[in-house]
Amino acid sequence: MDPLLQNTMIILVFIFPVHVVAYKNGMIQPACIDMHPQHNASAQTSSPPFSLTLSKYNYTSGEKITVTLKNTTADSVIEGFLIQARDGSSTTPIGSFQVSGNDVQTLTCTTAASAVSHTSDSSKAQVQVTWVAPNANYTNLLFRATVVQNATIFWEGVVSNKLTYSGSLHLVPAFSQTLLCLSALFGFLCML
């Protein structure tokens, strides 16, 4: 390689900053599986100054639960985030989200509205969304978040407490009606 060209390339590498892919608009589908922002930085290893809480910790099919991501120290702001519900160590989001307001949006990670993220990098102290439970019993359901404080400071693995299924077995209507009739018949026979 021509020495002049080689020196020019070396100078350009040092003059121009390293490219950081930041999604200020929150359209972060590339992070859907590993929940890792494309910031060319490593996640913080300290305890996250954020919490992920739920309005309740048991659910039934189709139930709506409020999910709150908030800072736990006044100097920790939320500029970006990604929240999903997952069963154990699975990378597949569970359920769907509903949002209100302009600072949160739903994302299609595997299914429509299976995750939520920010719409801008404006600082927030708290984010609230509504999660709609699936029609299924998951045994180790947790909400997981990645929270970005700025382009180079972020935490992965902000996790809620476990959410437990509290639904009951739904019988097929015809079968339920048959059981009711049999109960009535046996009740009548017992009265004789």
In a domain, 74, yes or no: yes
Q: What is the pLDDT of residue 9?
A: 42
87 inside domain: yes
Position 31 scores a pLDDT of 77
Enclosing H/E stretch for 22: none
**Which neighbouring-strand residues pair with 68?**
53, 128
82 burial level (CB within 10 Å; 0-12, 13-18, 19+): buried
Structure tokens at 81: 């985030």
Q: E-assigned strands of 120-178?
A: 126-132, 141-150, 153-159, 164-165
Question: Which of 6, 158, 191, 154 lies closest to 84, judged by CA?
Answer: 158
What per-residue confidence (pLDDT) applies to 107?
95
Residue 179 in domain = no
Whether the CB-CB separation of 10 and 90 falls below 8 Å is answered with: no
State residue 181's pLDDT score: 46
Residue 187, both tokens: 């009740």
Give the CATH number, domain containing residue 96: 2.60.40.4060
In a domain, 11, yes or no: no
Amino acid at 156: E
pLDDT along the chain (192 residues), means of 10: 53 38 54 85 96 97 97 94 95 96 93 94 95 94 96 95 83 49 47 52
191 belongs to a structural domain: no
Which structural domain, as residue segments, surrounds residue 72?
Answer: 21-171
| Residue 46 located in a structural domain | yes
Cα gap 34→22, rounded to integer Å: 16
- Which two tokens mark 13? 């590498």
Task: Classify 73 as helix, strand or coil.
Answer: coil
Extract the tokens encoding 31. 């992070």
